[in-house]
Copies of this chain bind each other. A is one copy, B any other.
Amino acid sequence: MTYCVAMKLDHGLVYLSDTRTNAGVDNISTVTKMRSWDVPGERTITLLSAGNLATTQAVVSWLDERNKTPGERAPSILAAPTMFEVARIVGDTLATEVAARSQTPGQTMDAAFAGTLILGGQIKGADPRLYLIYPEGNFIEATEDNPFFQIGEAKYGKPILIRAFEAAMDFRDAVRLMLVSMDSTVRANLSVAPPFNLRYVKDGEFTATHERRIEGDDPYFRTLSEGWGEALRKAIPTLPSYEG
């Protein structure tokens, strides 16, 4: 599996993804699930992927192919006039790729080829947008009521996001919260693991404001992980005791 999370903050979009991919527990490897396309000053697009790796890599390859020769292989995400159009192109590419695999004779398990994507970005003249794209190619957009998306092993890390997310958080607070959510997931599920990819794009900057890979032995991540365990253990006794 995978765990990716993306947040729509008041001042920009921030993304975090793990890198573990596995076919069974005895066949694991490290693959980046975050891809980005930036045109400085004009547009920035980031894609996070979960699900069948062959499918999601094929989607990225198709998007890249079309970017290289946009005239011949339209539609290109670098030519689309709006993020909505970009989402439509990516969703259609995904649905087409999944459908193509599922039509192979003898293959009936659509779900095995499915992929789910988070797409975020901004095109000059419009606000940043964040979308969740389903395997069928349709998508929903992040709103004030629904300001973050998770894909892959989303359940472990969801409660803390529900409780602590605030759209007004600065980028450092958002990263800390995302890493806590990631840490809860990593501790509970073997199929999610470091290194992690982190990317922040501030509203109006059409390239990464901050971008890096966080290794498993990263001192900050280690401190955060230990500190969070300690904080949870300390928080429980502050709650009123059960007197039933």
Contact = CB atoms under 8 A, between A and B. Distances in A.
A94 to B, nearest CB: 25
Q: Interface centre among A231, A233, A243, by most B CB within 10 Å? A: A231
Contacts of A214: 244
Interface string A181-195: 000110111000000
A25 interface: no
A159 B187 contact: yes
Contact of A233 (B163, B210, B223, B233): B163
Nearest to A225: B239
A232 interface: yes
Given A156-B158, A241-B176, A243-B172, A164 B198 contact: no
A60 interface: no
Contacts of A231: 235-236, 238-239
Copies of this chain, count: 2
Contacts of A177: 236
A108 to B, nearest CB: 13
Contacts of A5: none
Nearest to A241: B172
A184 to B, nearest CB: 4
Interface of A: 153, 155-160, 162-164, 172-173, 175-177, 179-180, 184-185, 187-189, 198, 210, 212, 214, 220, 223-224, 227-229, 231-244
